[in-house]
Every structure is written in C-alpha cells, then in structure tokens.
Amino acid sequence: MDLLKPLIALLAIVNPIGAVPFFLALTQGFTSEQRQRTLRVSAFSAFCVVAISGLAGLHIIQFFGISIASFQVGGGILLLLSAMHMLNAQPAESGKDDVDEGQARADAGDSIAVVPLTIPLLTGPATISTMVIYAEKTRTFFEHAVLVGYGVVIGAATYLAFVASGRIARVLGQTGINVMTRLMGLILAAMAVELLADGLGKLFPILGGAAAP
C-alpha cells in the first residue's frame, strides 16, 4: 500500500485527462500523424521527467542551485506565453513562412510536446518536488526502480489520455476547437498567474505581506 500512495498522488498531480483540452488546443491544425507524434513525444517526456526527477532530481537542483520557487516562476512565464497564443486561437508554436511547412509543423509538434505540454502542464514543479521528496526516502535499488516504474505508469496514462483526444476533436469540429482553445487559453493564463504568484511569493516573502510593520 505504501507503494501505491505515491503513485496515486502523482496521478492526481499530473492529471493527464485534465490536460486533454490543452493537447487539442495546442495541436489544432495538425494532421493525424503529427498529432500522434506529438502525443508520443509528450508521453515519453512525461516518463523522463518523473524518472529523472526521482533518480537525480535532488542532485540536479543542488548542482545548479535552482529552487522550486525559481522553477515555478520560469514555468509560469512559459505558460503565460502559450496562453497568449491560445487566446488568439493559434498554436503555441508556429513556423516561419520561409520554412518548409511540413517540417515546421513537425518541429512545432515536438516543441509543444515538451514545453508547455509536458513541462509545466503535466509535470510541473509540484510533480518534480514530489518526486524529489520521495527520492530522499529511497535507500535500496528496488526503491529506486519503483520510482522509475512510477514514470512508466505516468507516461502510459498520458499516452492513453491523449489517444482518446482524437475522438473528442472529431466531435467538436474546427469551430468547437477554436472556441475551446480560447477558453483554455484564459484558464491557462490564470494558471500561469497562480504559478508566478506562488513562486514570486516564495522568492520574495515581502510580496506575500510577510514584511514586518
């Protein structure tokens, strides 16, 4: 049961089903093959983030001197930039006119799959900090292997959730996706502000009213 509790907590934090509307919004205009490529890269990236955070997250943070609060601020800025594009019903990444359209969309799909879809929408500071906390408690090889197993489950759950998004896209149609894109952009902007506010509050306690009178 002790092994299941962290996994349940991670699934609740990552919430792949809740990211499906963002996946549809960010991949609008993609072909079926491009969307499939994007979801595969996103699922694999989610696995990598969880597994690496569990195995080496603490050492990486200590090596670069990065705090979770700083990660939150950076993630919030990335989310806010993506939200601006979504509010105009545009993909989060777009190629320039002088670049081959097919290759530009493929590159954009890979880029979107990693940032902001995987980081920080799916596996943000909460996921990374959670894995770091569990990693501090691991002592044996088996316990470390379990952390990697969590990554496998998260990656599989992300893949299955995004695979179902194709059916949702067919039901909504292009007009429905455009409307949903703007709505998700507004929600994403609010999430970005919350992430920024929380990170800035930790970096600068005075912003949270912690200053002495």
Banded model confidence at residue 104, pLDDT cuts 50, 70, 90: low
Give the pLDDT score at 94: 42
Measured CA to CA, the distance from residue 141 to residue 70 in angstroms comes to 31
Compute the average pLDDT of residues 188-207.
85
**What's the mean pLDDT in 62-85?**
81
Q: With a cut of 80, say whether residue 213 has pLDDT above it.
A: no
> Nearest-5° angle of CA 82, CA 157, CA 25?
25
Give phi and psi for 65, each to the nearest 5: 65, 35
Give SS3 for 54: helix
Distance CA 141, CA 180 (A): 45
pLDDT averaged over the chain? 81
Report residue 101's pLDDT band, with 50, 70 and 90 as the boundaries: very low
* Alpha-carbon span 149 to 2, nearest angstrom: 14
Return d(Cα 94, Cα 42) in angstroms, integer. 18
Query: Helix 32-64 crosses helix 125-137 at what angle (to 10 degrees)?
Result: 50
Q: How confident is the model at residue 39 (pLDDT cuts 50, 70, 90)?
A: very high
Radius of gyration of the chain measured on its C-alpha atoms: 18
The percentage of residues in the chain with a pLDDT greater than 90, rounded to a whole number, is 20
Question: Which has more confidence, 172 or 198?
Answer: 198
Average pLDDT of span 35-60: 91
The pair of three-digit structure tokens given for residue 106, joined into one six-digit string:
């493929």
| Residue of 48 and 3 predicted with greater confidence | 48
Please say whether the beta carbons of 122 and 158 come within 8 A: yes
Give residue 152's pLDDT band: very low, low, confident or very high (50, 70, 90): very high
Tell me the two tokens of residue 137: 């408690």
Predicted confidence band at 96 (pLDDT cuts at 50, 70, 90)? very low
d(CA 109, CA 47) in angstroms, rounded, equals: 18
Query: What are the extents of the domains in the chain?
Result: 33-202
Q: In angstroms, rounded to a whole number, what is the distance separating the alpha carbons of residues 4 and 125?
A: 21
Collapsed DSSP state (helix, strand, coil) of residue 213: coil
**pTM for the predicted model, two decimal places:** 0.72
CA distances (Å), origin 194, targets 73, 75, 197: 10, 11, 5
129 CB neighbour count, 10 Å cutoff = 17
Mean pLDDT in residue range 85-112: 56
